[in-house]
Structure 1
Amino acid sequence: MVRTYKEALAWIHGRLRLGIKPGLERMEWMMEKLGHPERRVRAIHVAGTNGKGSTVSYLRHILQAAGYSVGTFTSPYVEKFNERISVNGRPIRDKEIVELVRAIQPLAEELETTELGAPTEFEVITAMMFYYFGKKNIQDVVIIEAGLGGRFDSTNVIYPILSIITNIGYDHMNILGETLEKIALEKAGIIKSGVPVITAVNQPEAWAVIAGKAKSLKAKTYRLGEDFSIVQHEANEDGERFSVETVFSQYPDLNITMFGAHQVQNAAVAVMAADYLRMCYSFLIEKEHIYEGLEKAKWIGRFERISNKPLIIIDGAHNAEGIRSLVDTVRLHYPNKDVHVLFAALADKPLEQMIPPLAGIAKTITFTSFDFPRAASAEQLAALCDHPDKACITDWERWLKEKRKQKRSDDLFLITGSLYFIAEVRKLLL
């Protein structure tokens, strides 16, 4: 039995060796043994390829502004593991992590002796979350981010009050499938009978899958561009200004401090979700709560400005869609800057689709690697790039320290790629 926080984390992370095991049987077994804590959680379930974390943050801040206590379950973490289970944005305490592991560890060991086999790292973390929010610290509402896909994701044992599918893109194709239809089918797996679905999915083939699934389950859909819309969007120095029209109300001149058209979409989804909760579940959400919540919302590691002199921005754009959104945001907000890119990524990502768009906005592009089992080498990354001013480095910390000394107002240092890499960079810079 674990005694310390360090031992608890070691036990959790030690389960990484088990890899990914799609399926809900092990989660259902653990939930039954725990007395079904997931049934006591008033949940909003969020799936999608990109934008889940930002959407969770927008919606959480709106609900908090309205006076609700909000639990969240997100991944991966950036600064500390405890972030994954948070209350009103505050990660749970080290002591609570130890208590949760003590509750789940005996079950994991018992489960390992059955024909179902040992639960994975993500499964035990999910079980910890359900036990915490269902037994130890019940919240007004808990916003739960799916880990991978949706249909067989370990979070999918809940029956939520609302389902959100942010978007569909090409990521984790080795597990979810190689077409948008197959990926959409996995994401649509979170849709439950009679539970409304809010989405920003725009590809016709992906939408057809989601709409078909929702129709078969009599789940009402609210789609961005069809049932609610963004109007009058303009970028400014501090973020984005835009208006949203939903089937219930109008919200002119909203402001967010996260950058990019993709963040406007994420915010619009959160506004639609809040409006639905207000109209159909009697949540006491006023218009001023929506304005206040959106403006306060932040999501670390996503187009985050770490320094102004020199201008340093970090962004965990870890797939092709994320890179395209990042490139569009740089062009929109910093069209006249000399962009110097530092890039590191995992080898199993679609790198041949990610690197060329970055090279297209870069004056210089530098590749590196970091201490992670699936990290690509700098040389692997550089081989996919034909930029005339590209370089490979091993000591990215030294590179950052040198760049921080530069004060040219025309320079923008853009550090991007794997979220695991961004977490290390952020720790060093702050």
Structure 2
Amino acid sequence: MIRTYKEAVDWIHSRLTLGMKPGLKRMEWMMEKLDHPERRIKAIHVGGTNGKGSTVCYLRNILQQAGYSVGTFTSPYVEQFNERISINGKPISDVEIMKLVQVIKPLAEELEQTELGGPTEFEVITAMALYYFGKMNIQDVVLFEVGLGGRLDSTNVIYPLLSLITNVGFDHTHILGDTLEQIAFEKAGIIKAGVPVITAVDQKEALDVIYERAKSLKAKVYELNNHFTITHHEATENGEQFSLQTPFALYRDLSISMLGAHQVKNAALAVMAADYLRTYYSFIIEEQHIREGVRQAQWIGRFEKISKRPPIILDGAHNMEGIESLVQTIQTHYPNKSVHVLFSALRDKPLKPMIEALANIAETITFTSFDFPRAATAEELAEQCNHHAKQCVDDWKQWIKQKRKTAKNDDLIVITGSLYFISDVRKFLKMNTFVGKIADIIKEK
């Protein structure tokens, strides 16, 4: 019997040993046993290679500004496990996690005795979220982020109001396929009969797959740069500004604080989704709700400035598309800075092109590793790099401390790679900032 939060989380993480088992049979079995909580949820499904979390964040903030209570299911977490299931951006409590595990654990054990086998960690967490939002704490709307792919992802048991597909890129190719068409087929698997899909996918071969799937299910497609259009985009000192024409309205000079052209696309998807909800589902969303929602949206670990002096950027650019967006954003917003990169990643990523792209803008590039089963060693990463000023470090915490002390006025410190690594770094930086502030207060006294 689970009696503490720690026991609950430890049990969830113990499911990692089962790995990934694509398919919906185990989820459908659990939903049947739980009396189908997924059918009681007003859901919006968000898939794609990159930008899912940011898009969820923009849309959540718009809906909150309009007075709605919004649940979210996202992954992975950056600060604490509980944030994967949140309400209005606030993670659910330790007690609620414990109660959810008390419900799901007996089911998992029963399922383990069937021919289907036991549920994976992600299936367990998804079942927890569906039970929570369908039975324990029903919300006005819940935004579900796809874990991996879409067609066989455990979140795909929901029947949403809207489906969003951010983009299609080469990630998890060993599971999803190694062509854009194959990956798009998996992403398009979240499209449901009669449920409109909003997308920022821009490759013709991927779009053709999405349109074919949507046509077969009589689902209307709203495509960025076709049915809704970004205009007058410019980078500002504190973010991005752009106008957006949707089929229903024109929004002039929207401002966002998350940096990068890719964030403009994510925000545009969210605005288009809000506009659709307002027009066809009678959500009471005014223009000021949209303006304030996108302006206030922040998503930790995504081109996040964690320090001003020296400027330190944290970015969970864990695949090639993420690295390309990171490089473009640095070149746009910090064109005259001397860039010093700290990089760590999982060994199953396309490391060589990712590292080459970073090396092209870096004054120095440093490789390290972290405590995670699939993490590459610093030496494995360095082997992929020909930069004249590359190095390996075992103690990345000491590297950061030293870099903060010796940084010059024109230096920019960029820490990037796996989101799991960024999570560790962010916790370390926040703790050191807190300790530093306490020390300053003591000195003043």
**TM bucket normalised to smaller:** over 0.9
Q: Secondary structure at the match of 1:61?
A: helix
Q: Determine the structure 1 residue equivalent to 2:25.
A: 25
Q: Counterparts of 2:166 and 2:295 in 1: how far apart (Å)?
A: 20
Amino acid at match of 1:169: G
Question: Does structure 2 conserve the Cα–Cα contact (< 8 Å) formed by 1:165 and 1:199?
Answer: yes
Note the C-alpha offset of 1:353.
1.8
Amino acid at match of 1:214: A
Q: Determine the structure 2 residue equivalent to 1:121.
A: 121
Q: Determine the structure 2 residue equivalent to 1:280.
A: 280
Q: How does 1:190-269 map to 2 (within 5 A)?
A: 190-269=190-269
Matched, 1:48 2:55: no
Q: Counterparts of 1:199 and 1:380 in 2: how far apart (Å)?
A: 37
Amino acid at match of 1:177: G
Question: Does structure 2 conserve the Cα–Cα contact (< 8 Å) formed by 1:241 and 1:256?
Answer: yes
Q: Determine the structure 1 residue equivalent to 2:84.
A: 84
Amino acid at match of 1:258: M
Q: Counterparts of 2:211 and 2:354 in 1: how far apart (Å)?
A: 30
Note the C-alpha offset of 1:188.
0.3
Q: How does 1:61-80 map to 2 (within 5 A)?
A: 61-80=61-80
Amino acid at match of 1:223: E
Q: How does 1:90-169 map to 2 (within 5 A)?
A: 90-169=90-169
Q: Counterparts of 2:160 and 2:297 in 1: how far apart (Å)?
A: 23
Question: Does structure 2 conserve the Cα–Cα contact (< 8 Å) formed by 1:45 and 1:146?
Answer: yes
Q: Counterparts of 1:319 and 1:143 in 2: how far apart (Å)?
A: 24
Matched, 1:185 2:185: yes
Q: Counterparts of 1:215 and 1:61 in 2: how far apart (Å)?
A: 31
TM-score norm. by structure 1 comes to 1.00
Q: Determine the structure 2 residue equivalent to 1:401.
A: 401
Q: Determine the structure 2 residue equivalent to 1:310.
A: 310
Amino acid at match of 1:60: R
Q: Counterparts of 2:178 and 2:396 in 1: how far apart (Å)?
A: 33
Note the C-alpha offset of 1:407.
4.5
Q: Secondary structure at the match of 2:240?
A: strand
Q: Counterparts of 1:404 and 1:429 in 2: how far apart (Å)?
A: 11
Question: What whole-Å deviation, never above 9, does each CA across 1:341-381 have from its counterpart, x for those lacking one?
Answer: 00000000011221101000000000000110000011111
Question: What whole-Å deviation, never above 9, does each CA across 1:389-419 have from its counterpart, x for those lacking one?
Answer: 1001111000011112135210000000000
Matched, 1:367 2:373: no
Q: Counterparts of 1:199 and 1:323 in 2: how far apart (Å)?
A: 21
Instruction: Count residues with an aligned counterpart.
Output: 430
Q: Counterparts of 2:70 and 2:129 in 1: how far apart (Å)?
A: 13
Q: Determine the structure 2 residue equivalent to 1:37.
A: 37
Question: Does structure 2 conserve the Cα–Cα contact (< 8 Å) formed by 1:196 and 1:219?
Answer: yes
Question: Does structure 2 conserve the Cα–Cα contact (< 8 Å) formed by 1:185 and 1:210?
Answer: yes
Q: Determine the structure 1 residue equivalent to 2:434.
A: none
Question: Does structure 2 conserve the Cα–Cα contact (< 8 Å) formed by 1:69 and 1:88?
Answer: yes
Q: Determine the structure 2 residue equivalent to 1:321.
A: 321
TM-score norm. by structure 2 comes to 0.96
Amino acid at match of 2:125: I
Q: Counterparts of 1:191 and 1:309 in 2: how far apart (Å)?
A: 46
Q: Counterparts of 1:411 and 1:100 in 2: how far apart (Å)?
A: 47
Question: Does structure 2 conserve the Cα–Cα contact (< 8 Å) formed by 1:310 and 1:406?
Answer: no
Amino acid at match of 2:385: C
Q: Counterparts of 2:185 and 2:263 in 1: how far apart (Å)?
A: 24
Q: Counterparts of 1:390 and 1:116 in 2: how far apart (Å)?
A: 48
Matched, 1:293 2:275: no
Q: Counterparts of 2:123 and 2:312 in 1: how far apart (Å)?
A: 36
User: Quick one: percent identity of the two aligned structures?
Assistant: 71
Q: Counterparts of 2:20 and 2:326 in 1: how far apart (Å)?
A: 29
Question: Does structure 2 conserve the Cα–Cα contact (< 8 Å) formed by 1:343 and 1:416?
Answer: yes
Q: Counterparts of 1:310 and 1:22 in 2: how far apart (Å)?
A: 44
Amino acid at match of 1:299: W
Structure 2: state its 5+ residue gaps: 431-445
Amino acid at match of 2:86: S
Q: Determine the structure 1 residue equivalent to 2:176.
A: 176
Amino acid at match of 2:368: T
Moved more, 398-407 or 414-423: 398-407
Q: Counterparts of 1:234 and 1:181 in 2: how far apart (Å)?
A: 32
Q: Counterparts of 2:306 and 2:404 in 1: how far apart (Å)?
A: 11
Question: Does structure 2 conserve the Cα–Cα contact (< 8 Å) formed by 1:168 and 1:184?
Answer: yes
Q: Counterparts of 2:16 and 2:197 in 1: how far apart (Å)?
A: 32
What RMSD in Å do the two structures reach over aligned CA positions?
A: 0.5
Q: Determine the structure 2 residue equivalent to 1:352.
A: 352
Q: Counterparts of 2:49 and 2:79 in 1: how far apart (Å)?
A: 22
Question: Does structure 2 conserve the Cα–Cα contact (< 8 Å) formed by 1:323 and 1:358?
Answer: yes
Q: Counterparts of 1:405 and 1:34 in 2: how far apart (Å)?
A: 55
Q: Counterparts of 2:117 and 2:208 in 1: how far apart (Å)?
A: 36
Question: What whole-Å deviation, never above 9, does each CA across 1:67-102 have from its counterpart, x for those lacking one?
Answer: 000000000000000000000000000000000000
Question: What whole-Å deviation, never above 9, does each CA across 1:149-177 have from its counterpart, x for those lacking one?
Answer: 00000000011000000000000000000
Q: Secondary structure at the match of 2:314?
A: strand
Q: Determine the structure 2 residue equivalent to 1:57.
A: 57
Question: Does structure 2 conserve the Cα–Cα contact (< 8 Å) formed by 1:149 and 1:176?
Answer: yes
Q: Secondary structure at the match of 2:292?
A: helix
